[in-house]
Structure 1
Amino acid sequence: METVATDPDGRRERRPTVLDVLALEEIDRDLYRSTLVFTDPFPLYGGQVAAQALYAAGRTVAPDRLPHSLHGYFLRSGDAARPTVFRVDRDRDGGSFSARRVVALQGGEVVFSMSASFQVPGAGPDQQVHETPQVEPAGTLPVMELPRLFSMESRRPPQPYDGHFPTRFWARATVPLPAEPLVHACVLTYLSDIGTGLSALPEDEASPGPTIDHALWFHRDARLDDWVLMDMVPRTVSGGRGWYTGSISTAGGTLVASFAQETLFRPGRNPFRPGR
Structure 2
Amino acid sequence: MNENPTPLESLLDLLDLERIEQDIFRGYSRSAVVPRVFGGQVAAQALVAAGRTVPPERAAHSLHAYFLRPGDPGAPIVYQVDRIRDGRSFTTRRVVAIQHGQPIFHLSASFQVHEDGLEHQEAMPPAPDPESLPSADELLPKHADRFPDPTVIDRLQEARAAVDLRYVEDPPFLTAGVRREPRSQVWFRTRGELADDPLLHVCLATYVSDMTLLDSVLLAHGRGGWAVGDVVGASLDHAMWFHRPFRADQWLLYDQQSPSSSGGRGLGTARIYTQDGALAVSVIQEGLVRVPRA
Which residue in the other structure is 1:142 paired with? 134
Describe how 1:26-105 pairs up with structure 2 within 5 A: 26-105=19-98
Using the TM superposition, give the Cα deviation of residue 51 of structure 1 relative to its aligned residue in structure 2, in angstroms. Answer: 0.3
Residue 253 of structure 1 corresponds to: 277
Unaligned runs of 5+ in 1: 1-6, 270-276
Q: Deviations over 1:125-179 (max 9, x none)?
A: 2211x21121111111111256413411122224699974982111100122110
Cα distance in 1 between the residues matched to 2:282 and 2:170: 19
Secondary structure of the structure 2 residue equivalent to 1:105: strand
Deviation per residue, 1:34-71 (Å, 9 max, x gap): 14552232310000000000010000011111111101
The one-letter code of the counterpart of 1:218 is F
Q: Deviations over 1:205-224 (max 9, x none)?
A: x8461111001110011000
Q: What one-letter code is carried by the residue in structure 1 that aligns with 2:186? A: F
Determine the structure 2 residue equivalent to 1:272: none
Is the contact between residue 169 and residue 184 of structure 2 (CA under 8 Å) also seen in structure 1? no
Deviates more, 1:106-115 or 1:193-202: 193-202
Deviation of 1:100 after TM superposition, in Å, equals 0.5
Q: Report whether the alignment pairs 1:222 with 2:246.
A: yes
Q: With structure 2 as the length reference, what TM-score do the two structures score?
A: 0.81
Query: Could you say what secondary structure the match of 2:248 adopts?
Result: coil
Change over 3 Å in CA distance of 1:37–1:140 after alignment to 2: closer
Aligned partner of 1:153 in structure 2 is 164
Q: Is 2:5 aligned against 1:14?
A: yes
Q: Which amino acid aligns with 1:187?
A: L
1:171–1:230 contact (8 Å) kept in structure 2: yes
Write the distance in 1 (CA, Å) between the matches of 2:260 and 2:31: 35
Q: Which moved more, 1:218-227 or 1:138-147?
A: 138-147
Partner of residue 140, structure 2: none
- State whether residues 66 and 120 of structure 1, in contact with CA within 8 Å, keep that contact through their aligned partners in structure 2: yes
Q: Give the TM-score, by structure 1 length.
A: 0.86
Structure 2 partner of 1:200: 219
1:3 corresponding residue in structure 2: none
CA contact (8 A) 1:37 1:82 kept: no
Counterpart check, 1:174 vs 2:191: yes
Instruction: Report the structure, 1 or 2, having the larger helix content.
Output: 2
Q: Which residue of 2 aligns with 1:123?
A: 116
For the 8 Å contact 1:167–1:199, the answer to whether it is kept is no
AA aligned opposite 1:27: I
Q: How many residues align?
A: 258
SS at match of 1:200: helix
SS at 1:14's partner residue?
Answer: coil
8 Å Cα contact 1:247/1:258 also seen in 2: yes
Corresponding residue number in structure 1 for 2:202: 185
Residues 200 and 163 (structure 1), Cα distance of their counterparts in 2 relative to 1, 3 Å cut: farther
- The alignment's C-alpha RMSD in Å is 2.3
- Contact 2:14-2:30 at 8 Å conserved across structures: no
